[in-house]
Each structure stands twice: as C-alpha cells, then as structure tokens.
Chain A
Amino acid sequence: MKNNFVKINRTGPVLFSDYKENSALKKAVRMSRNDILFELRESGLKGRGGAGFPVSTKWMLTAATNADKKYLICNADEGEPGTFKDRVLLTEYPELVLEGMIIAGYTIGAQEGIIYLRAEYSYLIEFIQSKIDEMHKSNLLGKSICGNKDFEFEIKIFPGSGAYVCGEETALIESMEGNRGEPRNRPPFPVNTGYLGYPTVVNNVETLAAIPHIINNGGEWYHKFGTDKSTGSKLFSISGDCKNPGVYELPWGITIKDLLEIAGAEDTKAVQVGGASGICLPESQFSKKVSYEEISTGGSVMIFNKDRNMLKVLKNFMEFFVEESCGQCTPCRIGNVKLLEGIEMIEKNEYSMEYINKLKELGETMKVASKCGLGQSSPNPFISILDNFKDEIFTKN
C-alpha cells in the first residue's frame, strides 16, 4: 500500500512506446545543436504543462543568447487538480525525463539542470536521485557525457515547499531564488533573463519526456500524430466517476466522447478539461476535440456523473484558487474571493442575476488583467460552469 513504483504495462503512440534506455542521449550528443533544433521544429512540439508554447522557439532563443551560464529547469510542480501524469512519468519512465533534460541542456548550452519537484512529491526524491546517481556511473551525467568532451551536465533536485502558483515558470524561478513564489513581470522572459539573471528554459516533465523519442524517430515522425496545430500525443490524467481512472497516452484531436469511452464512464453529466483552471463541458459539447486550438489542456480530465452537484464542484475549484493565489496582483487576490462569495450567495439563494453577470464581467477582466496564468484562468470554471449548467444551478427553490 505504500510507495508504489511498479511499472504498469502501458501502451501509447509516443511516450509509452518502446524505448531503449540511453539510445536517444547517445545519438543526440553526436548531433549538432542546429540539427536537434531542426528536428524539434519539425515535430511541432508544444509545452505540455498547459500553456502550449512552441518548444523549439524557447530552446532556440536560449541557445542563441550569449551568457556565462544557462539553466534548464524541469517543471515537476504538477499542482493542477486532477493531474498526475508527471508523477507517473517520474516513477515509471524516469530515464525519459532525465535524458530529455540532458539533451535539452546540450542543445541550449546549459551546464546545470534542476528538477523543481513539488513538495507533495518529496517521497520521490530518493528514487529519482538514485536514477541520477546511476546515470553518473554510466557516464551519462557529469563530464564528457557519452564521450563528448565539450559537454558536461549535472542534474539536481530542488524540492518545492507547497505552492501551486510555483508551477508558473517565473514564480518557480523566484521560489528557487529563495523568495516568495510570486511571478515576475514579463518581459523580460526567462529565456532571456531567468534563474539568477541567466537564460533559463523551463519545461514540463512531459515535454522533456517526448524529446528522446523525437531524437530517435525524427521530428517528422512525431508530426504525424495529433492534429496540424497540435502535433504529437498527450498524456491524459483521467479521474472521477469512471471505471478506469489513470494516465492514458492519446493523440491530440481526440474527442471528449472517446475519452469517456476509454475511461469507462457512464451517465456523465460534465467533464472538466484542464483541471480547476480549465472549462467544464456539458453533454452537448462532448463531440468537441481536445487540442490547443479547440479545448486546450495540460491533460487533466475530471469526470462527473449525473448525481454530482455542479455548484459544489465550482465552489471547490474557486476555494482552491482563493487558497493558492499568491496575492501579489489585485485582480487575482481580490477577484477570486469575489467570485467565491458570488457562489456562496447562489448557495444561500441570496443573489441577483445582475450581480452574477457583474461577476462574470469581472472574470473577463481577470483573464486579461492578472499578472500570471493563475488569475488569468481561474475565471474559466466560474464562467463555464455557470453558463453550461445554468438550469441546474439557478433554480430558485
């Protein structure tokens, strides 16, 4: 019942496909950096943490910058409710993640890689550290990696201290510098001025795990999966009212209906895609496709059946944001509380539609005025659940 790192037999088009350990790393350090960037661009890989920024652009900007030091950070601060794919990757496919980090470091010219591991996953530190130590022994980390005399790379683990907002890349960097995890002003972006002022690439665990496969099979191969704008595959963390919750690797472009079938869900009323900061889809929209261009997500899929109270779901999400907001900027700090208060009014049946609409307008402002992604997406569940389930929620008893 305790720490369970048993590798389940998973199948999937990319990440869960067969992989010979260290094969990509050995290949990569013999490629030129430009060739790697080329493959990456061909692949069309976008960040898998939820924001979806083109990875090749990020790496290219950092690689092109002149600096004494550069850093590569693996964002393992998986805090989005309903997401647990990174935990699975770190426990069952650590070699993919670590090799992805080393290849990234090689490409951008970094000497140090840091895994920012959320405090809640601190029980994984010993395990991951042992993998790092193994790689050291096999000359896959340290100096002259795989015989390439010019390339040296170290990986350290930096444990977080319990803050969802530190999943945001500049808040993460602030946390690593010993400060409160409050996001920074952007620009300048981390690729230009990041950790300690040096160019820094922050990538999600899943993004890095895809790198070895892209190196081995080429960018064009990766591009074949998914849709035109959302290439490759995505790990979906499916949980909630379904028979088979778990992590599934599926190509982008899959519909919600397909997801529900795979997970064995019945009598589904609502699907929350993208975690607490995502949107909630009613049955009428289950034919929508999951992709960056349609329903974008970091992979969290929470399934709610007909018996669940959607107002309670919404309240839970807004309470989450009130607790996790860093408090730095006005719209998020106070706005989330106002949205939660609105929900409490609805619960007590002491509301007016006029005020609820005002709150929705406030939500629209928060989406464009907040300093970071937390405040920019916390109104999403508020607006989508109140819109899509208005019949259920706004019945005056």
Chain B
Amino acid sequence: MNDIEKNIRNEFIEELIRIHGCERTSLLPVLQEFQKKFFYIDEYSQQEIADKMNIHPVEVHSVITFYAFLYEKPRGRNTVRICKNIVCDFHGSNIIAKALMEELNISPGETSNDGRVTLELINCFGLCDKSPSMVVNEDVYENMDKEKALNIIRQLK
C-alpha cells in the first residue's frame, strides 16, 4: 500500500473516530463504517484504528475475525448472499447457489475475477417465508429462482 492510500485511510479513520468516539465501545461502528467505504479492513488500517483507540492491533484482528460480516481480505464490489438454512435449501437455494458459482466461476467466499461479485452462503437471513431469497448488498430479493438470480447478477457493476 503506498503512502497516498495510507493517508486516505488515515484521514477517514480520524473522521470516524471524531464521529463515533475513541472508546472501545466505538470499535464495531468504526469497523463497519470503514468497511462500507473500503470493502475490507486492511493490515495498515487495523493498526491505525488500534493506535487511535489505545488498544492492541491483535485485538482489532481478533474482533474482525470473530464476526461473519467483517472482512480482512479484499472483496468484490458487490456481495451476494444466499441462505443455506434447510428450509431455503429444500426450496431451491442450493440450485441458485450452484448456478451462480458456475456463472462466476467461484466457490462460496471467493470473489469473481473481474472483482464484481463476492458470493457468500450465509446462515438464516430471516426471509424463510419468501424462500428462496437472495440479498445483494443492501437489497432483498424474494421468491427467487435460477433465472431471476442470474439476471440480477449479470446486471451488477
């Protein structure tokens, strides 16, 4: 990471600390907001956040690796999530998942080569009555099938 990138992140972190505070209780909000902008929390930024909050870098790393929606590795610009709960599975979510994996040529957890999409299989999303469902970033799509899902994926930038 070059100095310019580091500076951008540094400034953003300082802004977040200004808004949320530098106490440990602000750690999760700061990490979430940082991630919204940069998609993942890199090594340098973890140390900066630790330094400004007066905690150790390994503690930040520990918190990030605990939560399923905090990431330390580069991601795609869009995250597509499909539920793997048994009810969704019985209603075809696994077929949709397989189709997407083939289309994007990736396994769950991986990012497509063009950096567009990261596919994730996640635990119950709370949309069981509208299964199979799919969540793309912050948008919820209900009663999906293979065709509809592929359509949506193909339109992502």
Contacts and interface: CB of A to CB of B under 8 A. Distances in A.
Direct contact of A and B (CB under 8 A): yes
Interface of A: 1-4, 78-84, 86-87, 118-123, 158-164, 175-181, 196, 237-241, 245-247, 302, 304, 308, 312-313, 316-317, 320, 323-324, 326
B63 interface: yes
Contacts of A159: 28-29, 32
Nearest to B64: A161
A123 B90 contact: no
B47 to A, nearest CB: 17
Nearest to A84: B126
A160 B124 CA distance: 15
Nearest to B136: A2
A78 B70 contact: no
Interface string B96-131: 000000000000000000000000001111111111
Interface in B121-157: 122-131, 135, 138-142
Interface string B59-86: 0001100111110000000000000111
A239 B87 contact: yes
B85 A82 contact: yes
Given A120-B122, A245-B131, 11 more contacts: A81-B87, A82-B87, A82-B128, A84-B126, A87-B126, A120-B125, A120-B126, A162-B122, A237-B129, A316-B84, A316-B89
A158 B67 CA distance: 15
Given A82-B87, A178-B24, A164 B123 contact: yes
16 contacts: A2-B141, A4-B140, A81-B85, A81-B123, A87-B127, A118-B126, A160-B67, A161-B70, A162-B70, A176-B25, A178-B28, A181-B66, A245-B128, A302-B87, A316-B86, A326-B66
Contacts of B31: 161
A79 B68 CA distance: 13
B149 to A, nearest CB: 11
Most chain A beta carbons < 10 A, residue from B62, B125, B129? B129
Given A161-B69, A317-B86, A178 B126 contact: no
